[in-house]
């Protein structure tokens, strides 16, 4: 899944699927019915695409960067999304990955609480190890 622009929420989910050999294709309605008891309504994909294979990194992990780049190219070619990104920068966030966004969020949370990397939660500076 990747995030795509959504006029109401800012961003919604798009699912990419690879079918097992011999499996019949299905639509978004069937996927929603299957996921109804597994995901909250706001987590439900609003679009889906069935692919032959998913793009992989050299290590063998799913390459969301390639999925985002392909989706962006499709939207620009279709003219439906004339701008490269939505106002909230959905493409930039997706390309940089959730890990960097979550680490930035935790850093800002720690800074709001007055913590730094050199102080503990109680505000004491940790002892130096010789």
Domains of the chain: 2-97 (3.30.300.30)
Average pLDDT for residues 68-85, to the nearest whole number? 76
- DSSP collapsed to 3 states, the chain: CEEEEECCCEEEEEEEEECCCCCCCCCHHHHHHHHCCCCCHHHCCCEEEEECCCCECCCCCECHHHHHHHHHHHHHHHCCCCCCCCCCCHHHHHHHHHHHHHHHHHHHHHHHCCCCCCCCCCCCCCCCCC
Averaged pLDDT score across all residues of the chain = 75
The band of 12, judged by pLDDT with boundaries at 50, 70 and 90, is very high
Residue range 53-74: average pLDDT?
93
Phi first, then psi, for residue 95 (nearest 5°) are -70, -35
State the pLDDT at residue 116: 52
**What does the pLDDT read at residue 79?**
81
User: What's the confidence (pLDDT) of residue 89?
Assistant: 47
pLDDT, tens digit (0-9, with 9 covering 90-100), for 84-126: 444 444 444 444 444 444 444 445 555 555 555 554 555 555 5
Residue 51: strand pairing partners: 18
Q: Which residues contact 70 (CB under 8 A, 6 or more apart)?
A: 55
Confidence class of residue 78 from pLDDT cuts 50, 70 and 90? confident
- Residue of 19 and 121 predicted with greater confidence: 19
How many CB atoms within 10 Å of residue 69?
15
Q: Compute the distance between CA of residue 33 and CA of residue 13 in angstroms, rounded to an integer.
A: 16
| Per-residue confidence (pLDDT) for residue 100, from 0 to 100 | 43
Which pLDDT band, with edges at 50, 70 and 90, does 54 fall under?
very high
Torsion of CA 105, 86, 51, 14, to 10 degrees: 60
The whole-number pLDDT of residue 86 equals 43
């Amino acid at each position: 899944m990747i995030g795509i622009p959504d006029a109401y929420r800012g961003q919604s989910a798009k699912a990419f699927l690879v079918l097992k050999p011999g499996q019949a294709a299905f639509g978004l309605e069937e996927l929603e019915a299957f996921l109804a008891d597994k995901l909250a309504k706001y987590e439900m994909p609003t679009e889906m695409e069935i692919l032959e294979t998913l793009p992989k990194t050299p290590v063998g992990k799913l390459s969301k960067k390639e999925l985002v780049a392909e989706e962006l190219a499709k939207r620009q070619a279709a003219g439906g999304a004339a701008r490269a990104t939505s106002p909230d920068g959905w493409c930039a966030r997706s390309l940089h990955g959730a890990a960097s966004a979550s680490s930035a969020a935790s850093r800002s949370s720690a800074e709001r609480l007055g913590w730094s990397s050199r102080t503990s939660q109680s505000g004491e500076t940790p002892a130096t190890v010789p």
